Amino acid sequence: MNATTPLTALQVMQDSPMIPVIVLNDVAHAVPLARAFLAGGIRMLEVTLRTPQALACIEAIAREVPEAVVGAGTVRSKADAKAAANAGARFAVSPGYTGAVGQACRDASLPLLPGVASSSDIMMATEDGFTELKFFPAVQAGGVGMLKAWSGPFFDVKFCPTGGVTLQNAPNFLALSNVVCVGGSWLVPANVQELGDWGRVTRLAMEIQILRK
């Protein structure tokens, strides 16, 4: 998979048991953090568009760490999708779903994992052709029980539960047939970036490899 191969949403989900949700406040942290994840066996990286530096961080990772696959998280609008693609993001993740975000990602050839928290959300996303979805916020919105209930009517949909997922509860999610991977912010603990403790990120990334399905 090189930087020019177009990805599918399913490939994004299948690469690792966990997609790290990353919040970057400093462009200087982007490249060492991406390299730390790669060293730990994780290359799909979701950099959230929550900070003014996020797009520059995506750009830096796309340019300097081509073995990583950087995506944009917190894609909430058409403008976000366009900006993410222009910065070099290879996939997009949104906390919810709108037709405008779905269309903008299609226009930009960005595979999208739309966020859903209800059956109606799932129906809107699948109606527009999206069948690989982020369940957000997973624990808060019903967790494993909700996913089991959805596996009946939405037998053809795959999920990436995110929100409240930990190393401890991740196996319960990953044991479900409609879950391909999980997402979470805990692979980048508070202080790691300030301390430059990239080794800690690599160790955590290695730890989650035991979760591989």
Ligand X SMILES: O=C(O)C(=O)C[C@H](O)[C@H](O)COP(=O)(O)O
Contacts to ligand X by CB under 6 A: 21, 48, 50, 73-74, 95, 115, 136, 162-165, 183-186
Q: Are strands 182-184 and 69-73 parallel, antiparallel or unpaired?
A: unpaired
Count how many Cα atoms sit within 13 Å of the Cα of residue 130 in the half-sphere of its side chain: 30
Shortest spacing between CB 4 and ligand X, in angstroms? 26
Among 59, 67, 82, 134, the one annotated catalytic = 134
Nearest CA to 185 out of 206, 201, 203 is that of 201
Query: Which of 162, 178 has the CB closer to ligand X?
Result: 162
Shortest spacing between CB 152 and ligand X, in angstroms? 25
Query: Which of 4, 121 has the CB closer to ligand X?
Result: 121
Shortest spacing between CB 191 and ligand X, in angstroms? 15
Shortest spacing between CB 137 and ligand X, in angstroms? 7
46 is catalytic: yes
Query: Which of 64, 207 has the CB closer to ligand X?
Result: 207
Measured CA to CA, the distance from residue 125 to residue 203 in angstroms comes to: 36
Measured CA to CA, the distance from residue 58 to residue 70 in angstroms comes to: 6
Query: Which of 164, 196 has the CB closer to ligand X?
Result: 164
Could you write out the DSSP letters of every residue in 55-112? HHHHHHHHHH-TTSEEEEE---SHHHHHHHHHHT-S-EE-SS--HHHHHHHHHTT--E
Measured CA to CA, the distance from residue 133 to residue 13 in angstroms comes to: 10
Catalytic residues: 46, 134
